[in-house]
Structure 1
């Protein structure tokens, strides 16, 4: 590989051009969480699973050859790093992208990052692009819990806010992002949900393109069960377009010249992702919302004591259909089961595959054993034992697999989320002191 010492007005080298057609953004429910490991450690983890392209065989070497460390213009190196990170992300190498982008966007040294923080040496423009790409890393993390105990989509919103800071936000290609998404929407002119989403979100008179709308779009697609396969395709293509627009700008800022179509043109796919057609008997969004309110502390209490009180699971209005959906979501989460089935009664069973979820539909204090328990509207008491209190509305569930008949709820996030942390150690980002 030739070392490029003068980055001004250079055409894209083959090592970069070859990687561009393969950029994609598949929405995978079972996508792995971030590993938070260094580039060297990720080589071992990938173990021969890298794309068969020169760029990916040795990322540090590729980066240093294209953008030498002794380069007199630091910003060329910074934007080059961001460009490589975007290409890695577009090929599913999320951790490797995270490793490269962290030193440019975070002020502290981090154990997995590729080198110490250079946050203070990065221009506002480069820092803004690095923060934007950082938001994409955590968008890909999706519903997994990672740094600071934050869910991926929550962390993505944090980094979108960082990218919209006044010092560098104007350098982002807002107009180009709107243009590419509106052009993409024309390909889905016959699909009403896509058109409704576009009419609500694509206001090109706004001075700022808000990446959070794509965070939300991806989250909603992942939560759908069954999924709208057309909406999923639109979301995947929308993020791919976003990556390609950002890449046109970062590569130019890294000193390359090319026609926009070189980056923006995609290679069409001949295959489609199969979408599950499993049906739920309850509102999936309500069930998932309830399950996300279960922390590691709740799980530990339930596992050790066999019961737990969960506060504010539902907001007003609390009715039986919403309560049933929330109860099903809680049952799957607490039983650590991919699905659950509503049964007539647990009948005092101590079977750990059976759980009772009892909702309070009003504010009340109940005498339970030797203590008085206070409930608000929307609070829940979950137990392995037979509750059967006349002032509570009880739902009994047993664990089930996705192949089981008569499923009440199939949890699309089973096995794809972490536990909400409750200790200082779990909240640590891993900063080097």
Structure 2
């Protein structure tokens, strides 16, 4: 969770100094603040990936590089501290995503976290996560990350089946997942595993094997996402040529239900449509900030930010990003100010996906009128509506979450 798509939206011009309008800053001190750091480097680009990432040969020799990236990130943190000012609260969550963040030296990742602490402060119980490929960490690097303030590592397992990994063009050895989890545990880090289901050629038995392998590693948290074939990727080209079949919606729905059954039976509970954890303490609090309307500043090429209803996004290319910061300018490419209707729509879209549910009283009249029908159709649990006035999805509702949102927002 947290990675940056390659395509950026259109928007209004962003000021060169990054300044935000006064209304956006008005409630800053009373709202949790997260920092997302996008590390846009990979050794190899996976065939299914459309995130804003680059291999070293694609970047050339000028501008951003693996060796200089920490300096550029610290420069954007300086800008963030100036823009948010002294009213900014201590940071409650940090999430370093990519790309492959652990392609950077551990010392550089620790420098970035130290830079956040120096500029904003970190809450004593701050959650500090890095994504990692299983073959990009060592026992030594994980100990260094834990000593430097990281509390959690999210490992891109994706599958335990070699032929599925080959189709995804994932290069890690499945055995490295076991070693990485053991090393993270020894370092005192919480562990999350990311899985993908619906890869062309993946059987139900393959998916069950991957789930069993993940559960046997006893992680604190599991994310499971349906494969989406994104335009412009190598996987999309292979599907278009007929070399691989497109993912099947019914197959993906079956695999979601299998995942929910297997995870629930072994002590995990869903807390967002695609995320399960062993306890509430193991929820990804950074992502909960996205889903519940918190503020966050996104550092890095293509990273998105949101503060007080203003959303902006940085230029995509690492070299353009580094050049803007070096010249004293904000790396923001464009921004938008959400109006009341947009903020309401997002609250319904995101709030309905989490297990705590969406307060029915926050729905407009047409939304409240839709709730009874959603309960009758088995998409929303009846008891939370009756007892607590909260809209919580059933398993079927999670599979049809977009339909639920459409009905809540329909005129």
Which TM-score bucket, shorter chain as reference?
Answer: under 0.3
TM-score, normalising length: structure 1: 0.24
More strand per residue: 1 or 2?
Answer: 2
User: RCO greater where, 1 or 2, for CA within 8 Å and sep 6 or more?
Assistant: 2
